[in-house]
């Protein structure tokens, strides 16, 4: 059976697409799934850095499309921690026009025969890079932060996805700050749901750990102490069809949270 | 293509027919819309050049489109350089006996279901009814009335072309801008969002908003 092809997109830049791909990819691989991550952000690639795999790149997406390398497998980089996780990096010295949506479809059609999941890291914007990234996808994860501008762009993206026959994208709400929501200074989940009205896949709290893990090249899902990591582990479970309750976001730690705090001695 | 049209919409096939209002494409009510888009693409491809550069009306019968399906229809027609002039000329005649009071429009109500999202634009010569929200960054332009069964947060232009009798009605009226005929208004700064249906229309030379 062919694997699921999921594009992770947002419209706006800097809301956490790449971090989301790295964490969901790693999280799925931890559950013994075969996962391929594709960085479609040609010219501004980041996923390799976030995964800590930058120094292993030999061939990239454009090489595969132009058939500079013999097969797509030549360009796939195995993760250094998990053997069932692969990355197809973007080219850094080219731009988005170096590849066409049709070429993306060809490459992904080949990958999905072999992998359970193909995750596509979409660049910001709605131009060629977006067209390339969504061309072969049948599902989409829309990432947004609780800011008006990010939510507007997410809304635009959902409309564009629906034009491309991806009718039920799901939402990851990233970088939520429970303390600010409690004070009424930040949009909360209901405000965002009012506008976007799509299924919520997960809420990721703002967490310093993410910055540290991104710089170190180690996705936060691997860190059992990280709150964001826990949120991503839940997202992965929901993606696999499990019903997982949402972590409390109102700032009051739930029973489980208090228990954890006790255990950690914080 | 020669089938006679007794019902507003033929049930088995796409039909082009010349009506008083203009050349009209009849889309059957059964089957999914995507299917008929493919058929349309195919038929237009065979009749290459025949319709090119023209404008047509589209009769959808009871069918309600999503904003995405609407975009798809426009995309297919644009491929053959055909413009949609308006929707549902037949339904309009049946359901809208008030026609004589208004400036003549070539078509009737366009029914859209689902959220109209940022960047999407709906146009119709006639009225537009949206069963869903209209989000910020979207535009709705109708020569007649605009009715939103949900929250209107985008830009709405009713009576485009000069109909000063046009009205805008929404369950929650919180638009970026309201336009009726030649007038433009925006909500006063800091206006509390009133949760309840409201109506906007022209009174004197101003757009006024009232609770329904």
The string of pLDDT tens digits covering residues A165-215 is 899 999 999 999 999 998 989 999 999 999 999 999 999 999 999 999 999
> In this structure, are B51 and B82 located in the same domain?
yes
Interface residue of B118, B133, B171 to substitute, partner A, most A CBs within 10 Å: B118
User: Mean pLDDT score of chain A, rounded to an integer?
Assistant: 92
Co-location of B67 and B5 in the same domain = yes
Same structural domain, B6 and B97: yes
Residue B32, domain extent: 1-101
Q: Are residues B116 and B83 in the same domain?
A: no
Mean pLDDT (whole number) for A64-79: 94
* Same domain, yes or no: B137 and B189: yes
Q: Does B161 lie in the same domain as B137? A: yes
Same domain, B69 and B113: no
CATH code (residue B89): 3.30.750.50
Phi/psi at B93 (5° precision): -60, -40
| A4-264: in CATH 3.40.50.300 | yes
Going by C-alpha positions, the residue among A21, A17, A16, A57 that lies closest to residue A38 is A21
Does B25 share its domain with B71? yes
Is the per-residue pLDDT at B71 higher than 60? yes
Residues B68 and B89 in one domain: yes
Query: With contacts defined as CB-CB under 8 Å, which chain A residues touch B195?
Result: none
A130 in contact with B, Cβ within 8 Å:
no
User: pLDDT at position A29, please?
Assistant: 97
E strands along A10-55, which residues? 35-39
One domain, residues B97 and B160: no
Instruction: Give the model's confidence band at B72: pLDDT under 50 very low, under 70 low, under 90 confident, else very high.
Output: confident
- State the ipTM, two decimals: 0.79
The string of DSSP letters for B79-129 reads HTT-EEEEE-HHHHHHH-GGGGGS---S---EEEESPBPTT-EEEESS-EE
Residues of B in contact with A160 (CB under 8 A): 119
Domain count, chain B: 2
Please state the length of chain B. 212
Q: What is the mean pLDDT of chain B?
A: 83
3-state secondary structure of B176: coil
Candidates A152, A158, A162: best to mutate against B (most CBs of B within 10 A) is: A162
Asked if the C-beta of B136 comes within 8 angstroms of chain A's C-beta atoms, the answer is yes
* Same-domain status, B72 and B95: yes
Tell me which residue in B66, B120, B135 faces A195 most closely, judged by beta carbons.
B135
The residue out of B81, B101, B121 marking a domain boundary is B101
pTM: 0.80
Residue B115: CA count within 13 A, CB half-sphere: 23
Instruction: Identify the domain boundary among B101, B126, B161.
Output: B101
Do B144 and B183 share a domain, yes or no? yes
């Amino acid at each position: 059976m062919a694997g699921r092809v999921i594009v992770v997109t947002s419209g706006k830049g800097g809301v956490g697409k790449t971090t989301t791909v790295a964490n969901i990819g790693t999280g799925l691989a931890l559950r013994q799934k075969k996962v391929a991550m594709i960085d479609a952000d040609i010219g501004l690639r980041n996923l390799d850095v976030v995964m800590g795999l930058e120094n292993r790149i030999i061939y990239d997406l454009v090489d595969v499309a132009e058939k500079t390398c013999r097969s797509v497998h030549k360009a796939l980089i195995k993760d250094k921690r998990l053997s069932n996780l692969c990355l197809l990096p973007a080219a850094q010295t080219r731009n988005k026009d170096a590849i066409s949506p049709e070429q993306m479809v060809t490459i992904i059609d080949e990958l999905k025969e072999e992998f359970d999941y193909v995750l596509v890291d979409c660049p910001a914007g709605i131009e060629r890079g977006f067209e390339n990234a969504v061309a072969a996808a049948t599902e989409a994860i829309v990432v947004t932060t609780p800011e008006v501008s990010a939510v507007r762009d997410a809304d635009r993206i959902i409309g564009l996805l629906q034009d491309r026959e991806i009718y039920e994208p799901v939402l990851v709400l990233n970088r939520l700050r429970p303390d600010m929501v409690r004070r009424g200074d930040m949009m909360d989940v209901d405000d965002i749901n009012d506008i976007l009205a799509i299924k919520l896949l997960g809420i990721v709290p703002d967490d310093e750990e993410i910055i540290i893990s991104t710089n170190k090249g180690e996705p936060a899902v691997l860190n059992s102490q990280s709150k964001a990591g826990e949120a991503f582990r839940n997202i992965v479970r929901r993606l696999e069809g499990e019903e997982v309750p949402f972590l409390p976001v109102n700032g009051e730690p739930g029973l489980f949270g208090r228990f954890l705090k006790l255990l950690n001695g914080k | 293509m020669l089938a006679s049209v007794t019902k507003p919409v033929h049930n088995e096939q796409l039909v082009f027919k010349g009506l008083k209002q203009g050349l009209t494409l009849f889309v059957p009510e059964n089957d999914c819309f995507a299917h008929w888009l493919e058929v349309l693409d195919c038929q237009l491809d065979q009749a290459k050049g025949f319709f090119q550069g023209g404008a047509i009306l589209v009769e959808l019968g009871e069918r309600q489109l999503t904003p995405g399906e609407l975009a798809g229809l426009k995309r297919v027609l644009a491929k053959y350089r055909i413009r949609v002039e308006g929707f549902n000329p037949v339904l309009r005649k049946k359901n809208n006996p008030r026609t004589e009071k208004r400036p003549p429009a070539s078509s009737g109500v366009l029914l859209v279901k689902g959220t109209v999202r940022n960047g999407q634009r709906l146009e119709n010569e006639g009225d537009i009814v949206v069963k869903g929200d209209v989000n910020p960054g979207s535009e709705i332009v109708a020569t007649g009335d605009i009715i939103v069964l949900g929250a209107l947060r985008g830009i709405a232009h009713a009576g485009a072309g000069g109909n000063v009798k046009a009205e805008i009605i929404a369950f929650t009226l919180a638009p970026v801008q309201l336009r009726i005929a030649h007038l433009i208004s925006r909500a006063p700064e800091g206006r509390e969002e009133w949760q309840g249906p409201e109506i906007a229309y022209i009174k004197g030379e101003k757009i006024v908003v009232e609770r329904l």
